[in-house]
Chain A
Amino acid sequence: MSQQLIQGNEACARGALAAGCTFFAGYPISPSSEIAELLARELPPRGSVFIQMEDEIASMGAVLGASLGGRRAMTATSGPGFTLMQEHLGYASLAEIPCVVVDVMRGGPSTGLPTSPAQGDVMQARWGSHGDRATIALAPGNVQEVYSLTIEAFRLAETLRTPVAVLYDEVIGHMREGVVLHEPTPEELGRRTAPRAAFSPTFLPYEPDENGVAMLPDFGRGYRFHVTGLMHDERGYPTSDHVKVAELLERLERKVEPAVAAVPPERYRLEDASVVLVAYGIVARTARAAVDLLRREGIRAGLLRTRLLWPLPAPALTEVSSSAELVVVAEMNRGQWALEVERLAGGKTVLAPYLKAGGSVITAEELAGHVRRLAREGVAVS
């Protein structure tokens, strides 16, 4: 299949269409607007729905309603809009409503830098909504991956019945690269669990299947049930039973774990690496170039490129923390994911993150320079 020259945001919209998205509600915002623009053109002729909402709070509400009605639903935004969506994202997590939310990250806080890249929403994707919310967040590193991980986001959302965020920055959103728009297989698309029994007065919509995923029917299928943002039992009705609530929270956290195996990291020149760069998104690309620069100078560098931010890809991170003398998390913020890696490493290795916030991409030279400096100072690196 031949490659097409398309932009990251277009790849996202194409991925959504390939994944069977039939509902988009959103409010255009730089640098994500092209996603809405393309879907506004493509969805209605297919009999699908595109709604430009009054704001991002309403957008998320519409997405959840459509999803409960059985639609594969999504929205796309940037930091300021992602902020407004947090309330309903919490609702979606607890009520187990599948949806995909794309956040094309720009500089923040507040309206910040509308057309500059950043990776400042990583912790927001994890903790932006209150309570112990389990979540999934993917981080594509090139335009091809924006396409394939958007499809994967729908699969994870639908099969695990949870919101899935796709986070990438302005540069990837607007960059054009050659992309193969492959048609996903039924396995790559996945499908929702369905209730095992027809409706009866004893029907339990929130009864989990063997994977801990509630077998909620779509609205309009003849089942009568209740959806709430309150803690609920398997009937879907509010409960304050401490044991049931604790079990529910534990189940919701456990059910997102399959994402770790589903979205494995990419390892580059890690076999004998004493310095491991850890990066995601656009920075993983310059980090790869930095690895090559450092290797030429005799520094045994490697790269762990994660495509999954949440849940934390703990096995791979633990592995490099145990094997490397120095781990450098590079990200375009003031230190977010780096803290998680540090927590996980638990003192097993030297950590010296390279952080840059301000609206430009970390360059390979900057990153290599950081490692060189540490090597000169005798920090690890034999």
Chain B
Amino acid sequence: MSWRLDVRCAGSGGQGLALAAVVLAEAGLAAGCEVALTQEYGPEARGGASRADVAISDEVIANPQCGVPSILLALHDKAWRKFATGVPAVSASLESGSTTAVVDRDLVAVAPDAPGVLALPFEAVARDELRAKVVANMVAVGALGRLMGRFGSEIIESAVAKRSPSAFSQLNVVAFRRGWSMMDDLLPAAVSAGR
């Protein structure tokens, strides 16, 4: 049975969501999948609500743009407002046609308190534990990679290292691992099907 995952990374321009999406696409490519990454260009990329969508599949991706994302990552209220509209059914499991939303606990206040919405402290962990707020995106990539359940941590970790600016390579890998482990407690409940 063929499969396809659509991951939408949304936030405010400058939060590194495009890099997060590039890392996931790079991991997909390394795993031998077909990938297509599209993103919103223009003034949004410089401070407005921006998004980058990654489609990952085991077959040719005809339509690169995702309709309903399998996973929606939002790191900013305005990104949630702009890109969570049209997300019909928020579900805790990766079922086709439904969306699991992953939001930053402190940066996104407008997301509903629902079973399919995971509110996680990406920025708080980056700031307080890793002493670098800017790596919140890679903490989120760790959580997302685990939630996707398609690739092992090594393959995504290599993608993080490959795509990071050299000065941030090590820190980004640490952040990625932290995000991956963040899902330890949540995962059995969060992902019940769809793998």
B36 touches A170 (CB 8 A): no
Q: CA separation between A282 and B38, bound complex, in Å?
A: 12
Asked whether, in the complex, the Cβ of B63 is within 8 Å of the Cβ of A177, the reply is no
CA distance A114 to B61 in the complex (A): 26
Does B111 touch A at the CB level, under 8 Å?
no
| Contact between chains at A175 and B38 (CB < 8 Å) | yes
CB pair A175–B22 under 8 Å, yes or no, is: no
Chain A residues within 8 Å of B67, by CB: 363, 365
Is B42 within 8 A of A114, CB to CB?
A: yes
- Residue A364 at the B interface, CB < 8 A? yes
CB pair B42 A177 closer than 8 Å = no
Verify B63–A170 contact, CB threshold 8 A: no
Is B138 an interface position by the 8 A CB rule? no
**Cross-chain contact A364 with B42 (CB below 8 angstroms):** no
Which label, helix, strand, loop or mixed, suits the secondary structure of the B interface? mixed
The complex places the Cα of A116 from the Cα of B36 at a distance, in Å, of 18
Interface footprint category on B: 10 to 19
Of A114, A170, A175, A363, which is in contact with the most chain B CB atoms at under 10 Å from its CB? A175
Q: Is B14 an interface residue (CB 8 A)?
A: no
Closest A residue to B162 by beta carbon equals A5
What is the CA–CA distance of A365 and B41 in the complex, to the nearest angstrom?
24
With A and B bound together, what is the CA distance between A30 and B35 in angstroms? 24
Interface-forming stretch among A14-22, A125-133, A284-292? A284-292
A285 to B55, CA, bound (A): 14
A30-B41, A174-B41 as given contacts; A3 in contact with B63, CB under 8 Å: no
Chain B residue contacts of A31, Cβ below 8 A: 41
In this complex, the member of B34, B38, B61 whose beta carbon has the largest number of chain A beta carbons within 10 angstroms is B38
Digitize A162-179: 1 where CB-to-B-CB distance is under 8 Å, 0 elsewhere.
Answer: 000000001100111110
Which residues of chain B in 1-60 are interfacial with respect to chain A, using CB atoms and an 8 Å cutoff? Answer: 22, 25-26, 29, 34-39, 41-42
Task: Give Cα A363–Cα B42 distance, bound, in whole angstroms.
Answer: 21
Minimal Cβ-Cβ distance residue in A for B27: A5
Q: How far is the CA of A116 from the CA of B65 in the complex (A)?
A: 14
Contacts of A285 in B (CB 8 A): 61-64
Which residues in A have their C-beta under 8 angstroms from that of B63? Answer: 285-286, 288-289, 363-364
A361 interface hit (Cβ, 8 Å): yes
Q: What number of A-B contacts does a CB cutoff of 8 Å give?
A: 57
Q: Check B25–A5 contact: CB distance below 8 A.
A: yes
- Which residue of the partner chain A has the closest CB to B41? A115
CB pair B37–A175 under 8 Å, yes or no, is: yes
Q: Which residues of the partner chain A approach B25 to less than 8 Å between Cβ atoms? A: 5, 176
A66–B13 CA distance with the chains assembled, in angstroms: 40
Q: Which of A5, A30, A175, A178 contacts B64 (CB 8 A)?
A: A175
Known: A5-B22, A175-B36, A176-B22. A361 touches B65 (CB 8 A): yes
**Interface residues contributed by chain A, number (CB under 8 Å):** 24
Which of A170, A282, A285, A364 counts the most B-chain CB atoms under 10 A from its CB? Answer: A285
Complex interface: chain A residues within 8 A of B65 (CB): 171, 286, 361, 363
In the assembled complex, the Cα of A365 lies from the Cα of B34 at a distance in Å of 22
Closest to B163 in A: A5
Contact (Cβ within 8 A) A177 B35 = yes
Query: Given contacts A171-B64, A178-B29, A285-B62, are A115 and B42 in contact (CB under 8 A)?
Result: yes
Q: Report which of B36, B39, B62 forms a contact with A177, defined as CB distance below 8 A.
A: B36
Contacts of A178 in B (CB 8 A): 29, 34-35
C-alpha gap A176/B24 in the complex (Å): 12
Q: Considering the chains assembled together, what is the distance between the CA atoms of A285 and B38 in angstroms? A: 14
**Residue in contact with A174 in the complex, picked from B22, B35, B39, B62, CB distance below 8 Å:** B39
Closest to A268 in B: B62
Residues of the B chain whose Cβ atoms lie less than 8 Å from the Cβ of A361? 65
- State the Cβ distance, B153 to closest chain A Cβ, in Å: 19
User: Within 8 Å CB of B39, what residues of A?
Assistant: 174
**CB interface residues, A 10-51, toward B, < 8 Å:** 30-31
Q: How far is the CB of B144 from chain A (nearest CB, A)?
A: 17
Q: Which residues of A contact B61 (CB under 8 A)?
A: 285
**B42, B62, B65 interface centre (most CB from chain A within 10 Å):** B62
From 58 to 103 in chain B, residues with beta carbon under 8 angstroms from any chain A beta carbon are 61-65, 67
Inter-chain contacts of B26 with A (CB < 8 A): 5
* Residues A5 and B62 in contact in the complex (CB < 8 Å), given A31-B41, A115-B42, A363-B67: no
| Cα–Cα, bound, A183→B34 (Å) | 22
CA distance A333 to B61 in the complex (A): 24
Q: Name 11 extra pairs, CB < 8 A, besides A286-B63, A364-B63.
A: A5-B35, A114-B42, A171-B65, A174-B38, A174-B39, A176-B35, A176-B37, A178-B29, A178-B35, A285-B62, A363-B65
Please name 22 pairs of A and B residues whose Cβ atoms are closer than 8 Å in the assembled complex, sorted by A: A5-B25, A5-B26, A5-B35, A31-B41, A171-B65, A174-B38, A174-B41, A175-B38, A176-B22, A176-B25, A176-B35, A177-B36, A177-B37, A177-B64, A178-B29, A285-B61, A285-B62, A288-B62, A289-B62, A292-B62, A363-B63, A364-B63
Residues of A at the B interface (CB closer than 8 Å) are 3, 5, 30-31, 114-116, 170-171, 174-178, 282, 285-286, 288-289, 292, 361, 363-365
Chain B residues in the interface with A (C-beta under 8 A): 22, 25-26, 29, 34-39, 41-42, 61-65, 67
9 nearest CB pairs, A to B: A115-B42, A289-B62, A176-B37, A288-B62, A115-B41, A289-B63, A178-B29, A286-B63, A175-B38
